[in-house]
Amino acid sequence: MKIDIIDYETCSAAGLNLKALRNALKLHDSGLIKNNLAGSDLDTWIGLVEQVNDVNDLGPWQSRNNALAALGYEQGSIRQTVSGLISQYGAARVGLVMGSSTSSIDRTETAYTQLNEAGALTEAFKQPFVHNPHAPSLFVAHLTGITGPSLTINTACSSSAKVFATGARWLETGIVDAVLVGGVDTLCLSVLHGFNSLQLLSPNPCKPFDQHRDGINLGEASGFAVLQRSGDNTNGSGICLTGYGESSDAYHMSHPHPDGLGARLSMTQALRQANRQAAEIDYINLHGTSSRANDLIEGQLISALFPASTQCSSTKAWMGHTLGAAGITEAIIAMDTLNTNIIPGSKNLETLDEALCLSIKATDEHRVCQHVMTNSFGFGGNNCTLLFSRSE
């Protein structure tokens, strides 16, 4: 069964909304800045969404993560689309799947710095629905009025790619008539210093797949897409989810399988489900974090599975690696090429890693694509590949 993508929107340091992101990609204007996160003196670059600081009226739901979700939900026509579906089908027939890796740990961090004299939470931080791994879906359900099934997926950096697969299965089995899928993650000290402890952060703007790459930059983002069974609507975006693949090789807590076995499985599953050959894929948005190991393994795997002519790029140099929100952010970038006819280049790429042989370049390419793919690979070997196609 094909699944229609009827609306989508993204919010990151590269742009407050999809329109701004398209412009940033076109101008090669990165949203990365030198780290200025309060309480951190790490020498690195981050993708901060400054407008989140203005969303401070969420009451008992207040957290930076929820604020970024609320900010993203107000962009474009997502709110109107979801409201229309609730009116059409009823709130109980619309599902919700959110992806995140930190939920609202930013708020929990702050809470522990402001404990009372007894060492307990102060009243302002007694937020059981916020200090909660399921916080993103709890909040977005509250925000939207959706009362259908809801789920929060936390599989590290593949979290908000997997939301598409779960949403598609719900539609295929008739559990719901429409699904709002999304992802949100925000920068906080636990995240930034945690990745620093793994010696993964770069003191420079990241250079995915470049011979001289020296680490990653972290960012924050939120994104949403609305899914329906193909044929159930007549006002879609012209894009279908035609294939998805998921795997978990559990090779190591943070290092990918050296032969990319789980990643290979997720890509081949997506191709098989879409009934497509590797040569039919016009563009692949790579996971491409700019780490030495991840880029090398993914790049070698792409070379083994796809023709040398398959155009690839990593777009993390625009907004950083947005962790649990990376999946949906890059899924939107990939699927949007089907509407813009522009394949984004790999920003900051100067010299391709000499161990790789890929069709990847820094400049954009104008091409009418029919089928595009995006990869999201997370800690613990959690992998997800999505395949999007033009609607027939």
pLDDT value of residue 94: 98
Strand order in the sheet with 45-47: 33-34, 45-47, 218-219
* 287 catalytically annotated: yes
| Gap between the Cα atoms of 288 and 333, Å rounded | 14
What are the pLDDT digits (tens) for 133-164?
999 999 999 999 999 999 999 999 999 999 99
pLDDT digits (tens, 9 = 90+) for 100-113: 999 999 999 999 99
pLDDT mean across residues, the chain? 95
Query: Does 310 have pLDDT greater than 80?
Result: yes
Beta strands 342-343; 359-360: pairing state: unpaired
Q: Which of 206, 240, 287, 369 is catalytic?
A: 287
Alpha-carbon torsion, ordered 339, 343, 344, 345, to 10 deg: 180
Question: Which of these is catalytic: 157, 206, 240, 384?
Answer: 157
Residue 53 neighbours by CB under 8 Å, 6+ apart: none
Task: Kindly indicate the confidence band of residue 69, based on its pLDDT and cuts at 50, 70 and 90.
Answer: very high
Distance CA 345, CA 349 (A): 9
Q: What is the DSSP letter of 124?
A: G
Non-local (6+) Cβ contacts of 15 within 8 A are 21, 22, 23, 24, 31
Region 303-332 average pLDDT: 97
Taking 70 as the threshold, does the pLDDT of residue 386 lie above it? yes
Q: How confident is the model at residue 234 (pLDDT cuts 50, 70, 90)?
A: low
Q: How much is the average pLDDT of 198-211?
A: 97
DSSP string, 60-97: GG--HHHHHHHHHHTSTTHHHHHHHHHHHH-GGGEEEE
Start-to-end Cα distance in the chain: 13
- For residue 20, pLDDT beyond 80: yes
The percent of residues in the chain predicted with pLDDT above 90, rounded, is 92
pLDDT, average across residues 61-80? 98
Q: Quote the pLDDT of residue 233.
A: 67
Amino acid 145: pLDDT? 98
CATH superfamily of this structure's domain 3-390:
Thiolase/Chalcone synthase (3.40.47.10)
Q: Give the span between the Cα atoms of 338 and 333, in whole angstroms.
A: 10
Query: Can you tell me the mean pLDDT for 27-42?
Result: 96
Percent of the chain with pLDDT over 70: 99
Residue tagged active-site, from 11, 188, 206, 321: 321
What are the tokens at 232? 């159930």
Q: Could you report the per-residue pLDDT of 88-99, keeping only the tens digit for each?
A: 999 999 999 999
Q: What is the mean pLDDT of residues 180-189?
A: 98
157: annotated active-site residue: yes
Is 206 assigned a catalytic role? Answer: no
Q: Are strands 178-185 and 221-229 parallel, antiparallel or unpaired?
A: antiparallel
CA distance 205 to 318: 9
